Structure 1
Amino acid sequence: MLDFWCNVKNELEYNLMTQKELADKMQISYNTLQSWITKDRLPDARQSVQIAKILNTTVEFLVTGRKTPLSQDNAKIINLLNQAIGYLK
């Protein structure tokens, strides 16, 4: 099985979502999704982006299994948010 589909399955599990729910959200039939998976066929670019958005991840992660490093600005924002959460406790 392609890494893409292994990563999709892992993200489905992480998001407590079924393949049927993914197909419904994509507005495709469950059989179409199953065909892609069992025949190791990649969806087109638009569908790959749609899958990534539904799973709250990136196409890059679904293809490579690697998270994109945070930009310094994003890292600073996350650090500030974590500090603010710490003050609320």
Structure 2
Amino acid sequence: MEHFTRAAAKEFGARGISVTAVGPGPMDTPFFYPAEGADAVAYHKSAAALSPSSKTGLTDIEDVVPFIRHLVTEGWWITGQTLLINGGYTTK
């Protein structure tokens, strides 16, 4: 995904189109847990609980929306990046 994002940003940048990928942390959705085995679910829940900034342990859509809004309205200079919005999940 990162390489695709960079390539798309390079291709569309000349037309004034910015391309940014957003990587949220594990989210509690109906689609997340059925695709994972019991061990993976337990791991994500325990690792997410260690996230220093997370309110619930998992990424909430309400945590991601303000960032997306910023990208759409004022983030024209941000392009070719994959940004992780995960409450510190990757700092563990």
Please confirm whether the aligned pair reaches a TM-score higher than 0.5, indicating the same fold. Answer: no
Greater helix fraction, Structure 1 or Structure 2: 1
The structure number with the bigger radius of gyration is: 1
Per chain length, whose mean CA-contact separation is higher, i.e. which structure has more relative contact order (CA < 8 Å, sep 6+)?
A: 2
TM-score, length-scaled by structure 2: 0.28
